[in-house]
Structure 1
Amino acid sequence: MKQYEVYRHIRGRALIFGLPVAFFALQMLAVIGSLMAVIFSFDLVLLFGAMMANGILYGFLLKWAQRPELLPMGNVFPQMISNKKITFNETYDELA
């Protein structure tokens, strides 16, 4: 009988084209902005400049995704979450 390994990395980061979702959204905003610029003022130099700028941005975002210590971010969530009910007496005892 075939045995299956338990997949434990369910909370791993979702990646699109090697980028986290937030970086991918930033990349798509840059692509859409450059497309609008090219469409509304068609210029061959602008077309190549936009392609190069989007490629450079993609490279930087890939580098930041591989080495997140380059972009310092604080921790949003607390270390411990408790369901302990806080009453007035406990709060008063801690303050005294």
Structure 2
Amino acid sequence: MFTRIVKMKFEPKHIPQFLYNFEEVKQKIRNFEGCEFLELYRDQNDDTIFFTYSRWNEVSSLEKYRNSDLFRGIWKTTKAMFTAKPEAWSVDTLEQLS
């Protein structure tokens, strides 16, 4: 299992639409085969920066999602709202404390 982190910076005028769109698709993303966890975060110092954290069973599951019609539709809509190129990382958990 690994975590995918995506950082996105939006034009302020597009933030309400982004949040609305996320509300509409979040369950579809979370229920995509191989996705075990999904959260959306907002930066405390810059309210135009958002992060998604999603946890995936396997790299192939994330790739299947990234090649799906669901992702293509979401990304086409979302990327038009960016003010900066998004950044993404795939990271493995080394330690977890609860």
Structure whose residues are more often helix by fraction: 1
Q: Which protein has the larger Cα radius of gyration, Structure 1 or Structure 2?
A: 1
Which one scores higher on RCO, CA 8 angstroms, separation ≥ 6?
A: 2
Q: When the two structures are superposed, what TM-score results if normalisation uses the length of structure 2?
A: 0.31
Structure whose residues are more often strand by fraction: 2
Q: When the two structures are superposed, what TM-score results if normalisation uses the length of structure 1?
A: 0.31
